[in-house]
Structure 1
Amino acid sequence: MAPPQGQMRPGRQLAVLGLIFVVLFLMVFFVGVPGKSSLAERLEPKLGLDLIGGTRVTYTATTMDGSDPPAEQLEEARQIIESRVNALGVSEAEVVVEGNRNIVISLAGENRDDLKQVGDAAQLRFRKVLKATNGAGVAPQPSVSAEPAPDASASPGASPSAGASPSGGAAVTSSPTPSGGTGGGTGGQGGGAQATATPTPTPTASAAPSATATPSAGASATPAPVSTDVAAIRTEIQKKVGDAAWAAATGLTTVADLATDPTLATTLEPFSTLDPEKEVWALDPAMQFNVPQITCAMLDARKPGSIVDESKQAVACESGGKYLLDVAKVLGTDVGSASGVLDQQRGDWVVSLDFTSEGQKKWTALTREAYNNEGSACDQTALGDGSRCRVAVVLDNQVISSPEIQAVLTGDSQITGSFTSASANELASKLRYGALPLTFVADEAQNVSATLGAEQLRAGLLAAGLGMLLVAIYAFFYYRLLGTVIFLSLILSALLTYGALVVLGRQIGFTLTLAGIAGFIVSLGVAADSFIIYFERLKDEIREGRSPRSAVGRAWTRARRTIISANAISLMAAVVLYIVSVGQVKGFAFALGLATVLDLVVVFLFRHPVMTMFARTRAFLSPRVSGLGRVVAQKPTVADTTVKPRSSRVKEA
Structure 2
Amino acid sequence: MAQPQAPMRPSRQLAVLAAIFIVLAAIVWFGGKGGWRDRLEPKLGLDLIGGTTVTLQAQNLEGSKPPTQAQMETARRIIDQRVNGLGVAEAEVVVENNSNIVVSLPGKSDDRLKQIGQTAELRFRTVLGQTGDTGATDPSASPSASPSASASGSASPAASTSASGSATPSATPSGSSAAPSATPSDSSAAADATPTPSESVAADIATQRAAVQKKLGDSVWAAALAEQSPVDVSKDASKAELYKGFKNLTPKEVAVLPASMQYNIPFVTCDKLNHRPVGSIRAEGQPAVACGPGVKYQLDVAKVLGTDVSKASSGINTQNGKWMVNLSFSSAGQNRWTDLTREAYNGGTDSKQVAVVLDNEVVSAPTIQNVIPGDAEISGSFTKSEAQLLASQLQYGALPLSFTSQDAQSISATLGSSHLEAGLLAAGIGLLLVVLYSFFYYRLLGGVIMLSLVLSGVLVFMALIILGRWIGFTLSLAGFAGFIVSLGVAADSFVIYFERLKDEIREGRSPRSAVPRAWVRARRTIISANTITLLAAAILYFVSIGSVKGFAFALGVATILDLVVVFLFRHPIMTLFARSKAFLSPRVSGLGRVLEQRSTTDAGAASQAATRRNRPKEA
TM-score for the superposition, normalised by structure 1: 0.78
Question: What is the rounded CA distance, in whole Å, between the counterparts of 1:333 and 1:418 in structure 2?
Answer: 25
Aligned to 1:354: 328
- Deviation larger for 427-436 or 50-59: 427-436
Residues 146-199 of structure 1, C-alpha deviations (whole Å, 9 max, x = no match): xxxxxxxxxxxxxxxxxxxxxxxxxxxxxxx97545454444469xx9977454
Aligned to 2:83: 85
1:474 equivalenced with 2:471 (yes/no): no
CA contact (8 A) 2:161 2:168 kept: no
Aligned to 2:48: 51
Question: What is the rounded CA distance, in whole Å, between the counterparts of 1:368 and 1:601 in structure 2?
Answer: 52
| Structure 1 counterpart of 2:193, from 201, 218, 232 | 218
Residues 101-141 of structure 1, C-alpha deviations (whole Å, 9 max, x = no match): 3333322221323333333222121223334455426999x
User: Which structure's residues are more often helix, by fraction?
Assistant: 2
- Equivalence map 1:92-107=2 (5 Å): 92-107=90-105
Aligned to 2:113: 115
1:438 equivalenced with 2:401 (yes/no): yes
1:592 equivalenced with 2:555 (yes/no): yes
Cα distance, 1:269–1:628 mapped onto 2, change above 3 Å: same
Aligned to 1:605: 568
Aligned to 1:32: 31
CA contact (8 A) 2:161 2:169 kept: no
Aligned to 1:649: 613
* 1:303 aligned partner, one-letter code: P
Coordinate RMSD, CA, aligned: 3.9
Cα distance, 1:448–1:329 mapped onto 2, change above 3 Å: same
Aligned to 1:154: none
| Structure 2 counterpart of 1:516, from 479, 483, 500 | 479
Aligned to 1:148: none
Aligned to 1:304: 278
SS of equivalent to 1:400: strand
Cα distance, 1:194–1:426 mapped onto 2, change above 3 Å: closer
Aligned to 2:73: 75
The runs of 5 or more residues in structure 1 that have no matched partner are 141-176, 207-214, 374-384
- Equivalence map 1:219-618=2 (5 Å): 219-238=194-213, 240-241=215-216, 245-246=220-221, 249=224, 265-276=240-251, 278-340=252-314, 342-343=316-317, 350-372=324-346, 389-405=352-368, 407-420=370-383, 422-546=385-509, 550-615=513-578
Count of residues in correspondence between the two structures? 592
Cα distance, 1:618–1:132 mapped onto 2, change above 3 Å: closer
Question: What is the rounded CA distance, in whole Å, between the counterparts of 2:320 and 2:448 in structure 1?
Answer: 56
Residues 413-434 of structure 1, C-alpha deviations (whole Å, 9 max, x = no match): 4434444555444433433333
Question: What is the rounded CA distance, in whole Å, between the counterparts of 1:41 and 1:361 in structure 2?
Answer: 47
- Deviation larger for 413-422 or 524-533: 413-422
Offset, 1:519: 0.7
CA contact (8 A) 2:167 2:367 kept: no
Question: What is the rounded CA distance, in whole Å, between the counterparts of 1:244 and 1:439 in structure 2?
Answer: 35
TM-score for the superposition, normalised by structure 2: 0.82
SS of equivalent to 1:652: coil
Question: What is the rounded CA distance, in whole Å, between the counterparts of 1:484 and 1:188 in structure 2?
Answer: 57
SS of equivalent to 2:58: strand
Cα distance, 1:507–1:31 mapped onto 2, change above 3 Å: farther
Aligned to 1:153: none
CA contact (8 A) 1:285 1:313 kept: yes
Question: What is the rounded CA distance, in whole Å, between the counterparts of 1:82 and 1:108 in structure 2?
Answer: 14
Question: What is the rounded CA distance, in whole Å, between the counterparts of 2:567 and 2:161 in structure 1?
Answer: 52
Offset, 1:306: 1.3
SS of equivalent to 1:399: strand
CA contact (8 A) 1:2 1:553 kept: no
Question: What is the rounded CA distance, in whole Å, between the counterparts of 1:7 and 1:391 in structure 2?
Answer: 64
The runs of 5 or more residues in structure 2 that have no matched partner are 139-147, 184-189
Cα distance, 1:258–1:460 mapped onto 2, change above 3 Å: closer
